[in-house]
Structure 1
Amino acid sequence: MEHGPSDLAFYTCGCLLLLIGLVKLPAAINRRHDMLLRAAVALLVIASTVFFLGAPDSIALINEMSGVPNLAAPLTYTALTAFSGASLLLIINWRPARPEQTRRASRICIAGSCFVILAIHGLFWLGDTPVEQLTLFDGYYADTPYIREMILLYLLAQGAGTLTTSILCWRWSREVTGSLRAGLRILVPAYLLHVAYDGVKLVAVVARWTGRRWDFLIDQVAPLAAAPSALLVVTGFALPLAGPRLALTFQALRQLQELAPLWQELHAVPTPGSVRTALPWWSTPAVRLTARMTAIFDALLSLAPYYDARARDEAYRTAVGSGEPPRCARATADAAMIIDAVRRQRTERGPDENLDNTTWGTHDLVHLSKALSSPVVHRFRLSGGSVESRPA
Structure 2
Amino acid sequence: MTIFNLIYLSCGSVGLLVLAYKIRSLRSSWGSPRVIALISTVFFGAMSPLLAAPANITWVNRTTGVPNFAALLVYSMVVCFAGASVALVLYWRYPAAEAWRRVRLIVFGYAAVVATMVVLFFSSDITEERQVDFDTYYASQPTIGVLLFIYFAATAAGCGGQSYHCWQGARDGAISARPWLARGLLWYCATGLFPVSFAVIKLFVLVLNWTGEHRFDVLSTAAPLLASLGMIPLVVAMALPAFGPRRPSPSLWLRRWRTYFALRPLHRALVHVNPAIVLVAPGKFLDPHHRVRRQIIELNDWRWALTPYFDLAVGEAATSLARQAALPQDEVAAVVEAAQLRAAGTSGRSKPAQRRPAAEIVDGTDLNTEHDRWVRISRAYQHSPIVEAAVADAARVRAARGSD
TM-score class normalised by the smaller sequence? 0.7 to 0.9
- Measured in 2, the distance between the counterparts of 1:227 and 1:239 equals 20
- 2:393 equivalent to 1:367: no
Q: Is 2:306–2:345's contact at 8 Å kept on the other side of the alignment?
A: yes
- Amino acid paired to 2:107: I
Instruction: Quote the Cα distance in structure 2 between the aligned partners of 1:45 and 1:90.
Output: 13
Letter in 1 for 2:165: L
Aligned counterparts, 1:159-178, within 5 A: 159-175=156-172, 176=176, 178=179
The one-letter amino acid of 2:376's match is A
> C-alpha offsets along residues 32-86 of structure 1, whole Å, 9 cap, x if unaligned?
7998788656534432211111111211110001101111122111211222222
Q: Does 1:113 align with 2:110?
A: yes
Equivalent residue number for residue 390 of structure 1: none
Where does residue 134 of structure 1 map in the other structure?
131
1:141-196 CA-partner distances (Å, limit 9, x unpaired)? 33435433322222111100111111222223334264444443344344223211
Hey, what's the Cα distance between the residues in 2 that align with 1:35 and 1:343?
Answer: 69
- Distance, in Å, in 1 between the alignment partners of 2:32 and 2:255 is 31
Distance 2:92 2:38 in 1: 10
The aligned amino acid for 1:120 is M
Cα deviation, 1:87-137, whole Å, max 9, x if unaligned, reads 223322334x44543333333333333333333334333444322221122
Moved more, 110-119 or 134-143: 110-119
Partner of 1:234: 235
Is 1:215 equivalent to 2:212 in the alignment? Answer: no
Q: Which residue of 2 aligns with 1:67?
A: 65
- Aligned positions of 1:172-321 closer than 5 A: 172-175=169-172, 176=176, 178-213=179-214, 214-220=216-222, 222-247=223-248, 251-267=252-268, 268-270=270-272, 272=274, 274-276=276-278, 283=284, 285-286=286-287, 289-307=289-307
Measured against aligned partners, the alpha-carbon deviations of 1:240-292 in whole angstroms (never above 9, x if no partner) come to 33322333576445323323212331234246484545667x65744x53254
2:145 matched to which residue of 1?
Answer: 148
1:18 counterpart letter in structure 2: L
CA contact (8 A) 2:167 2:185 kept: yes
Gaps of 5+ in 2: 351-358, 394-404
Q: In structure 2, which of residues 127, 142, 155 is the aligned counterpart of residue 158 of structure 1?
A: 155
Change (3 A) 1:205 1:290: same
SS of 2:212's equivalent in the other structure is coil
* Number of the residue aligned with 2:401: none
Query: What TM-score does the superposition give when structure 2 sets the normalisation length?
Result: 0.74
1:117/1:130 CA distance change after superposition, 3 Å: same
TM-score when normalising by structure 1: 0.76
Once the two structures are overlaid, the 10-residue window that deviates more, 252-261 or 28-37, is 28-37
Contact kept? 1:335, 1:368, Cα under 8 Å: no
CA contact (8 A) 1:259 1:366 kept: no
Q: Separation in 2 of the partners of 1:98 and 1:365?
A: 47
**1:169–1:188 CA contact under 8 A, matched in 2:** yes
| Conserved? CA contact 2:195–2:227, under 8 Å | yes
What is the distance in 1 between the residues matched to 2:370 and 2:111? 58
Task: Give the corresponding residue for 2:74.
Answer: 76
**Cα distance in 1 for residues equivalent to 2:299 and 2:380:** 24
1:185 is matched by which residue type in structure 2? L
- Look up the match of 2:396: none
> Is 1:383 matched with 2:366?
no
**Whole-angstrom distance in 2 between the partners of 1:320 and 1:239:** 55
- The 1:72–1:46 alpha-carbon spacing in structure 2 relative to 1, beyond 3 Å, is same
Query: How many positions carry a matched residue from both structures?
Result: 371
Contact 1:21 1:42 in 2 (8 A): no
* 207 and 275 in structure 1: CA distance in 2 versus 1, 3 angstrom threshold: same
Secondary structure of the residue aligned to 1:347 is: coil
Letter in 2 for 1:138: D
State the match for 2:15 in structure 1: 17
- Assess if the C-alpha contact under 8 Å between 1:258 and 1:369 holds in 2: no
Q: Identity over the aligned pairs, expressed in percent? A: 22
Query: C-alpha distance in 2, partners of 1:207/1:12?
Result: 32
Superposed displacement of residue 227, structure 1: 4.4
Cα distance in 2 for residues equivalent to 1:385 and 1:250? 38
Distance (whole Å) between structure 2 residues aligned to residue 68 and residue 6 of structure 1 = 22
Q: Any conservation in 1 of the 2:139–2:209 contact (CA below 8 Å)?
A: yes
How far apart are the structure 1 equivalents of 2:192 and 2:311?
65
Alignment partners' CA distance in 2, 1:101 and 1:18 = 31
Equivalent in the alignment of 1:344: 344
CA contact (8 A) 2:37 2:88 kept: yes
